[in-house]
Structure 1
């Protein structure tokens, strides 16, 4: 199938809804913003989660975190009741609860992300072990809105953003790759994300709210920090309590909700930390699956 036919067929899916073809050299008029799909934003490359296994590490977090909490409780009981004979038996239970799911989740490869190489101005995508890519200059993307109707949600407008990539060595073998889930997004939001990618590739790695090159990473870091990880909630709650204390001028500033939320985040912190740690280990192991041609080009002095 010709590339132009692929774009036309994809555009026909949207029917009378709004859709447009986006290109690297054509601004959309929107401000750049991030859509909570960035996995890594570095000076050399930007990676987007390709979907699938986004909850990797959850099993380790739940079982391992539960095992850690259980062991702490048993240690507390052993200290109070002087029942140190309980500790070895609990180790036989709690250690496998942590180690077994950790090994299982880290040894299974994660789906490789969509890579935007800023230095070589290329985009890479792995599809079932086959490398697809496209030069950034001349890239084509399709953004369009559609509506989903459900018995409980009613009509919900969504918008997708897909880029056209070609099989390495087979330019007629092309795919449209989705840059994140379309649910709950609008065409304006997807165009804003396209401007984020344009700003990174053309003016990056750091840029301001207008997409212009900046020596400071403040705007980019601020946008990326809006997508809070589960382990961020505990420090954020501490910050909220500290701000209330500063504004209270000595008066009673704590509410019962502050205490409940703080204790809740504290209770789940080990589980959240284990989940993120497991995901990061699995991600680092999966990087070795990229072909050599990609890993070489990702180096600062690569070809």
Structure 2
């Protein structure tokens, strides 16, 4: 793979990162790794983080709330009429948005295959790829300046891929949005990918191979999950109770957080479940030459070898 010329970029700091050379940075996950498995790693390529939110709101608040009211009315009166009405109203409210959000395909992730040592990318239904060995990434640092926002440091991280069976067509693809990232952060993320492809699937804080997944799990666990907020609030209250010896440990702020957390917990869990279903369905949209190479016993030939 030829090294892209730096002249095509602005005079701002531009760094060439290579697959076989360390940047000296510690591996760091930037909240965009979608799956980290033994054989492949995927990076979110589209802004679909809110997929499942509609289902979560309508089901977690409207559906469960409505059915709960109907059940309460039944327990009070013994009449199934109002419960049946609520079920008739709430069932479509839950099922329709769930089907709509899970049946619509998610944008396919950027996929790094350890077994075949190559990268896959889907662009409008067309398959692009690049061999990992010899690949380079361009890290370009720049600033956005505005009267209201001041100066914000940003850094992009891009690699080049080629269209399958049409190698004269190439794309530069971004490994995550550049906004709010520094050059140091992008170097750390490149080290995360490099460590996975060269020393993985598991590695330590220095990028060296490890039989333990402790460091990788610690990196992936940093990503915030909305459903974790209720658990974190409960842990904070328990900690306050221990520190205060059980006396006057519960503040009004804690009560509000606990009530709101309990109210929104079903919504957040349903959203995450809906997103996971949509993601699994979308994974099957890869062409067969890719899906068969994701299997543990699949072929190890690279797409460039097929060409």
CA displacement at 1:38 relative to structure 2: 0.7
- Give the distance between the partners of 2:5 and 2:88, measured in 1 at CA: 60
In structure 2, distance between residues paired with 1:194 and 1:174: 21
Name the structure 1 match of 2:87: 91
Counterparts of 2:68 and 2:246, CA distance in 1 = 36
Q: Is the 8 A contact 1:157 1:185 kept in 2?
A: yes
Q: Which residue of 2 aligns with 1:8?
A: 5
Deviation at 1:249, TM superposition (A): 3.6
Per the alignment, in what secondary structure is the counterpart of residue 227 of structure 1?
coil
Residue in structure 2 matched with residue 214 of structure 1 by the alignment: 210
Show the 5 A alignment for 1:252-263.
Answer: 252-263=248-259
| TM-score for both structures, normalised by structure 2 | 0.91
Give the match for residue 161 of structure 2. Answer: 165
Work out which of the residue numbers 104, 111, 123 in structure 1 matches 2:107.
Answer: 111
Distance 1:70 1:127 in 2: 42
The 5-angstrom pairing of residues 283-302 of structure 1 reads 283-302=279-298
Query: Is the 1:3–1:174 Cα contact (8 Å) retained in structure 2?
Result: no
- Separation in 1, partners of 2:165, 2:188: 32
- Cα distance change, pair 81–148 in 1 and its aligned pair in 2 (3 A): farther
1:126 matches 2:122: yes
Q: Distance in 2 between matches of 1:284 and 1:60?
A: 17
Extract unaligned runs of 5+ from structure 1. Answer: none
Partner deviation per Cα, 1:137-166 (whole Å, 9 max, x = no partner): 111211111222234212211111111111
| Residue 102 of structure 1 pairs with residue 98 of structure 2 | yes
Cα pair 1:32 1:209 within 8 Å, conserved: yes
Q: Summarize deviations over 1:267-291 as a string: whole Å, max 9, x none.
A: 1111111111111111111111111
Q: Residue 40 of structure 2 aligns with which residue?
A: 45
Other structure's SS at 1:120 match: coil
Rounded to whole Å, the distance in 2 between the matches of 1:184 and 1:69 is 39
Match of 1:241 in 2: 237
Partner of 2:58: 63
| Cα shift at 1:78 | 4.2
Give the secondary-structure state (helix, strand or coil) at the position aligned to 1:31. Answer: coil
Q: Distance in 2 between matches of 1:270 and 1:55?
A: 16
| Among 22, 46, 69, the residue aligned to 1:27 | 22
1:84 positional shift = 4.0
* Equivalent residue, structure 2, for 1:150: 146
The alpha carbon displacement at 1:3 in A equals: 6.2
How much has 1:246 moved relative to structure 2? 3.3
Contact residue 32 and residue 199 of structure 1 kept, 8 A: yes
In 2, Cα distance between the equivalents of 1:271 and 1:224? 22
TM, length-normalised to structure 1: 0.92
Residue deviations 1:46-93 (CA, integer Å, cap 9, x gap) = 111111322111111111222212321342244345564321111121
Secondary structure in 1 matching 2:292: helix
What runs of 5+ residues in structure 2 fail to find an aligned partner?
Answer: 300-307
1:67-124 Cα shifts (integer Å, max 9, x gaps): 2123213422443455643211111211111011111111111111111111211111
Structure 1 residue 181 and structure 2 residue 177: aligned? yes
Equivalent residue, structure 2, for 1:138: 134
- 2:303 alignment partner in structure 1: none
- Say how many residue pairs are matched: 298
Conserved? CA contact 2:16–2:138, under 8 Å? yes
Q: Distance in 1 between matches of 2:163 and 2:290?
A: 14
In structure 2, distance between residues paired with 1:182 and 1:266: 35
